[in-house]
Each structure stands twice: as structure tokens, then as C-alpha cells.
Structure 1
Amino acid sequence: MRAILDLDQLRTFVAIAETGSFTKAAEVVFKTQSAVSMQMRRLEERIGRPIFARDGRASRLTGDGERLLAYARRLLRLNDETVSAFDEDELTGRIRLGTPDDYADRFLPEILARFSRSNPRVEVTVLCQPTSMLIECMRSNDLDLAIITYVPEESRLGAEVVRREPLLWVTSARHCVHEETPLPLALGQHTCCWRAQAVEALDAAGRVHRSLYTSWSSMAVGAAVLAGLAVSVLPESALRPGMRVLTEADGFPRLPSCDIAILRSWHQTSPLIDALAEHVTSSLDNLSVALAAE
């Protein structure tokens, strides 16, 4: 008789693969570390192959573990879809989410994947715009939920801060543009709060500078940095390979922290909005764990 795989063990296995350690996975699946270790021993016994290879404190998948991971994700997805098909209380409908593109690359994959697994019959429309434009969309009832860069002046909007991280000076790791005078900058448009904070900090430090590239697009700003054409400011989660963080030792003043908030519709409330807001918050918490691991 063939072995029957345990879905709970597979869910734990996927959590280990995604977090990189048994300890972090235990927090995700709400089990003790010893229970997670026991589950993995039993899973290896069921398939008759080792699925983990120790790599320091991290848990690296073996070749057989990589093969199992693909099957495990498919089985879990099919299980969740089957249960949802018979759940009369399952959420349905359409929800509109807004986010600046600074956050889209790092935040959206986790948010949308988690939300889709839990709510497969919900259609999500995503709009990428700067925070100021997202707020206008909320006023005109064109969005249900927005991830925004929070500034104290917007406290009246009812935004809920869900994440705080450092705002950092960045340059190309392969160039020395940060040593130039005047310092060339690649920043957002004039209403961008990060732009204002960067300019204010440089002025206070007496550092001569000039705005060389201006764009709402984080991809365009990042391209200027990576090409060694300018220095910019980014939150920690938006750092990309090839960028170097500049500190006070490099002559760059410390910047205020970056607060990320969620803004719910002022026009209506719904279980859909609450569910997506919960997934956004959970996903940003998971990002903190991933950044700490890196």
C-alpha cells in the first residue's frame, strides 16, 4: 500500500522552505519547534528520502526536497480550493488595492499570494500610484484599500501604521558618484515626502546637491542609481542587488524612518476590505522576518 501524505506535514514543510528555518516556520504554523522537527522526520519516513540538508543555522532543501516542494504546493492549493468550493461563507466579489510602486515589487507577491489562497473567488484590481494620488483615489471612491507612505500630516485620514523601517541613502556598489560635488540626486516628484526629507537633511549638513533625475517611478530612480548616475533614498525593503547603503561614515546624515500604513475606504466597510487589510498586515510582518534572516 502506498504511503498517504499528511497535508499538515506538507504545510509545515512549505513554511520551512519559505522561511529558511525550522524556528521561523514554527511561528508561521503555530507549532513548537520540536513538533515541527517531528513532523519533518515523519514526512521523510513517508517518502523514504532525505528532504533537508543542514547549512549552518539555515535549512536547505535537498534535490528530493525541491521536487517535493512543487508537489506540496500543488496539493495544498488543491485542498484549499476544494474546501472553498463548499464554503458558503467564502468571500466573493471584487476589491481595489492601491500601492506606490516603491512597495509593489517587494510587498505585492506575498500579499496577493496569501490573499488568493484564502479567497480564490475574489478578483483583486491593483493600482500603482504615488501616495498623494492614491489618497485622491480614496476620496473619489476609486479604491477600497491603499498601502501608503505615512506622514503625520495625514493622521486625519485614519491611516493605520503597520510597518516602520529605515529610510536609507543608496548609491551604486560599482561607482563613486556619492563622492561628487555637487551631489547628483535621483528622487521622486516635488510632492514626495522622501525627496523633502533628503533635501532637508543635505541642506542641514551643508552638502551641495542638485536634482539630476526626477520620477514617480521607483524603477526609473533605481535605474539611475544602479547606473552610477545619482544617489537616492529608499526604504530598507526596496533595496536592490547592486546598491550600496551610505551611512554617516560616508558623510551622509541620518534620515527619518519610513512609516508604511494602510488606508481603508471612507465610503464603505466590508468583510473583503477587512480580510485584505489583515493579509497586508500579516505579509508585512513576514517581510520583517525575511529581512532579519537576510
Structure 2
Amino acid sequence: MSAVLDIVPLRSLVAVAECGGFHRAAAALHITQSAVSQHVRKLEKVLDRPLVVRDGRRGRFTPEGEALLAEARRILFAHDEALRRLGVESSDGVIVVGSSEHAADQLLPEIATALRNVFPRRQVRFRLDRSGRLAQAVDNGSVDVAVVLSADRGEFAGMLPLRWYAAPSFRLPPPGEPLPLVVFDEPCALRRRAVEALSAAGREPAIACEAAYLAGILAAARAGLGVAVLAGVGGRPEGLVPLAGLPPIEPTALRIRVRAGAPSSLASVAASAVAQVVAGP
């Protein structure tokens, strides 16, 4: 068999999905946007079919692209776990930073700059994932430091403000009718915040769409399927607008988790960077 799926292009493909576009994927991977595009084209050439349809800085996955994305996640997980078990990852000068996707476009550059200032000879590599999986990765040592949504464990870094967002064409249903929500699948702190806020205000939530990653949430909300709760820092998500007329949502805590044996300053450096982002200008 001559066809080969290389690890580096697969990592770029996953980053496009998890970061919500080519531009953010490039920032997370610390490569150029053209390099990300080249990686995706390389995969398309191997499979001889389109995987991602470009839409400005964003990308819409084709059915074939979604299928490869699922395989890519499995391949990368097996690859990274193999390196960890063989003791390679700890000796190559890489700091692996895990981050929730929420506000990632603001958090990643700030964290990367802070870590490079303190560890100038170390390479910084990011892994974007759900908070629960990141916490597990910290515990098993495959991630050095992670920014997670958490109510308890880890060093407190700040409160992440939350807002309601919807497509410009979306109209709130009349009072008394269920409000369609676009949410992450469980467990999810933002989902719980949304349901609690609506229930406290006497509004009935109705789950219209569930997604595992931010790209799916954004796509469903842009399609007008319902209202999404997203981070309220930085610019508004492309194709969505803040939605008035709904109860305010309690912010959620951002905490820093660090693996056993990691440099003691990792937590404080990351926490300081996160605090600057959520504090705003």
C-alpha cells in the first residue's frame, strides 16, 4: 500500500476542526496559515477527494473530511500515547499545553508568549480538547499544563464571562415556548450554566443540537438551529450575534492543572496569562 497518512498533516486537520478555521489552527500550531492549507491539500491528494471547503478563514468539512477527522483523532491519540510511554515526549524540550476551546483565540497567544519568555529554549505545543479529557491527560502525564473549566481542582486563574449567541436571523420563541439550545454533549459546564439560567428565569430549554467540539456548535448556531452559550471575551464569533432578552449567565471558573513533576512555575505563568485575557483591556 503506497498511500500514507502523515502525522503532521493530520494534526493540522484536527486543529482546523477544533479551532474553528485555518487562521486559528495556524495560531494554535505556531505555523503559517499557508502551511495548514498545504497540509490539508496533502491529505486530499492522498485520498483523492476534497476534505475541507474553504469559506474565508474558516473551513467546512465534507462528509469525507468528517470521516477522516474521526480517524485522525484516533491516530494522533495513539501516536502521542506511544511517545509518552516510550519516554520521548519529556526529553524533546516540548511543553505540551492543553486548553479548552473556549476563548482559545485569545488564550493561546497569551499563554504561548508567557511560556516562551520563561522557557525560551522550550518548544510550546498546544492540544485543544474538552476539559474532562484534558484533566485526564494531565493526570496521565501526556499534557504538562492545561487550562480547564472547573469548579474545584487546580489553580484558579479567573472567571470566564459567558454570553448568549445566535444567528442574525434567529428569533426568540414567545414566552412559554421552549427555547432551542445548541450545546456541547455532557459533561459540560457551559451547558449546565445555560440550563440553570433558563430554568431559574422560568424558561424551558429544549436541546436542538448536541456537538462534541466547538466547530460543531458554531456551525449549528450559524444554521439557526438554536441559541449557543459561548465565551464572552474577544470579538464575537463569526456569523453570530449576541442575543438580548435572555437571563444573564453566571461566569465559569478557569483553572490551571499541571502534571506531576512539571516545572513548578508552569501553573503560575499560565494562570497569569489567562488572568490577563479574562480581565479584558
**Which TM class, normalised by the smaller chain length?**
0.5 to 0.7
- Corresponding residue of 2:237: 240
Q: Pick from 261, 270, 273 the counterpart of residue 263 of structure 2.
A: 270
Number of aligned positions between the proteins: 187
Following superposition, the deviation at residue 288 of structure 1 comes to: 4.5
- Corresponding residue of 2:134: 134
- Corresponding residue of 2:209: 213
Take 1:270 and 1:119, find their aligned partners in 2: how far apart are those partners? Answer: 10
Q: What letter is aligned with 1:97?
A: V
- Corresponding residue of 2:165: 170
CA contact (8 A) 1:177 1:231 kept: no
Change (3 A) 1:97 1:195: same
Following superposition, the deviation at residue 167 of structure 1 comes to: 1.9
Which digits, 9 at most, give the CA deviation of each residue in 1:109-135, with x for residues without a partner? 222134335534212232211111111
Provide the secondary structure at the position in 1 that maps to 2:135.
helix
- Corresponding residue of 2:271: 281
Q: What letter is aligned with 2:93?
A: G
Change (3 A) 1:188 1:142: same
Larger radius of gyration: 1
Superposed, 1:92-131 pairs within 5 Å as 93-116=93-116, 118-131=118-131
Take 1:129 and 1:288, find their aligned partners in 2: how far apart are those partners? Answer: 19
Q: Pick from 238, 245, 253 the counterpart of residue 247 of structure 2.
A: 253
Take 2:131 and 2:278, find their aligned partners in 1: how far apart are those partners? Answer: 22
Q: What letter is aligned with 1:244?
A: V
Structure 1 length-normalised TM: 0.56
Superposed, 1:1-294 pairs within 5 Å as 93-116=93-116, 118-151=118-151, 155=152, 157=153, 159-172=154-167, 174-179=168-173, 181-237=177-233, 239-247=236-244, 250=245, 252-265=246-259, 267-270=260-263, 274=265, 276-288=266-278, 291-292=280-281
Following superposition, the deviation at residue 207 of structure 1 comes to: 1.8
Take 2:267 and 2:120, find their aligned partners in 1: how far apart are those partners? Answer: 16
Which digits, 9 at most, give the CA deviation of each residue in 1:97-119, with x for residues without a partner? 11112232221122213433553
Unaligned segments of structure 1, at least 5 residues: 1-91
Q: What letter is aligned with 2:215?
A: M
Take 2:241 and 2:95, find their aligned partners in 1: how far apart are those partners? Answer: 37
Bigger fraction of residues in helix = 1
Provide the secondary structure at the position in 1 that maps to 2:247.
coil
Following superposition, the deviation at residue 223 of structure 1 comes to: 2.3
Following superposition, the deviation at residue 242 of structure 1 comes to: 4.1
Change (3 A) 1:256 1:217: same
Query: Cα RMSD over matched residues?
Result: 2.4
Take 2:96 and 2:207, find their aligned partners in 1: how far apart are those partners? Answer: 34
Take 1:119 and 1:137, find their aligned partners in 2: how far apart are those partners? Answer: 22
Take 2:114 and 2:262, find their aligned partners in 1: how far apart are those partners? Answer: 21
Higher mean alpha-carbon deviation, 233-242 vs 256-265, is at 233-242
Take 1:127 and 1:100, find their aligned partners in 2: how far apart are those partners? Answer: 9
Which digits, 9 at most, give the CA deviation of each residue in 1:135-162, with x for residues without a partner? 11122222211100121xxx3x3x1111
Q: What letter is aligned with 1:96?
A: V
CA contact (8 A) 2:155 2:267 kept: no
Structure 2 length-normalised TM: 0.59
Provide the secondary structure at the position in 2 that maps to 1:143.
coil
Provide the secondary structure at the position in 1 that maps to 2:191.
helix
Take 2:115 and 2:139, find their aligned partners in 1: how far apart are those partners? Answer: 25
Which digits, 9 at most, give the CA deviation of each residue in 1:4-42, with x for residues without a partner? xxxxxxxxxxxxxxxxxxxxxxxxxxxxxxxxxxxxxxx
In the TM superposition, structure 1's runs of 4+ consecutive aligned residues that sit over 4 Å from their partners are none
